[in-house]
Amino acid sequence: MLKRKIIIVFATMFLFSLISYMLIAAFGRGESAYGEEKKIVTSFYPVYLITENLLEGVEGVQVLNLTENHTGCLHDYQLTTKDMLLLETADLLVINGGGMELFVEQAVKKLAGLVIIDSCEGMELLAGESHDHDHSHGSSNAQSAVSAGQERGSTGISAAKEGWEVEETAGGVVENGHVWMDMERYRVQIHTIAAGLCRAFPEDKEKIDANKFAYLEKIVALSLEYEDLKESLSQVPVITFHDAFVYLCDPLNMEVVHTLDLDADSALSAGEIALIEDEIHLHGVRYLLADLENGEIAGQIAAESGCEVLYLNPLTSGTKELNAYLSGMQANFEQLKQILR
At residue 60 the predicted structure's pLDDT band, cuts being 50, 70 and 90, is: very high
Q: Would you say residue 1 has pLDDT above 70?
A: no
| CA 94 – CA 41 distance, rounded (Å) | 6
At residue 324, the pLDDT reads 98
At residue 8, the pLDDT reads 52
In this predicted model, which residue has the larger pLDDT, 287 or 34?
287
At residue 136, the pLDDT reads 37
Lowest mean pLDDT among 29-43, 85-99, 117-131, 310-324: 29-43
Q: What is the mean pLDDT of the chain?
A: 81
At residue 175, the pLDDT reads 86
Burial 120-158 (b: 16+ CB within 10 A, else e): bbbbebbbbbbbeeeeebeebebeeebeeebeebbebbe
Q: Would you say residue 135 has pLDDT above 50?
A: no
Name the residue among 336, 268, 341 with its Cα closest to residue 299. Answer: 268
Q: pTM above the 0.95 mark?
A: no
Specify burial of residue 55 (Cβ count, 10 A radius: 0-12, 13-18, 19+): buried
At residue 149, the pLDDT reads 36
Q: Would you say residue 118 has pLDDT above 80?
A: yes
Burial 194-210 (b: 16+ CB within 10 A, else e): bbbbbebbeebeebbee
Q: Would you say residue 264 has pLDDT above 60?
A: no
At residue 6, the pLDDT reads 46
| CA 88 – CA 162 distance, rounded (Å) | 16
Lowest mean pLDDT among 6-10, 214-218, 289-293: 6-10
In this predicted model, which residue has the larger pLDDT, 341 or 323?
323
pLDDT (tens digit, 9 = 90+) per residue, 175-215? 899 999 999 999 999 999 999 999 999 999 999 999 999 99
pLDDT (tens digit, 9 = 90+) per residue, 215-242? 999 999 999 999 999 999 999 999 999 9
At residue 32, the pLDDT reads 44
Residue 144 phi/psi, 5-degree rounding, is -155, 165
Q: Would you say residue 131 has pLDDT above 80?
A: no
**Under DSSP, is residue 133 helix (H, G, I), strand (E, B) or coil?**
coil
CA angle, 126 as apex, 329 and 247 as ends, to 5°?
10
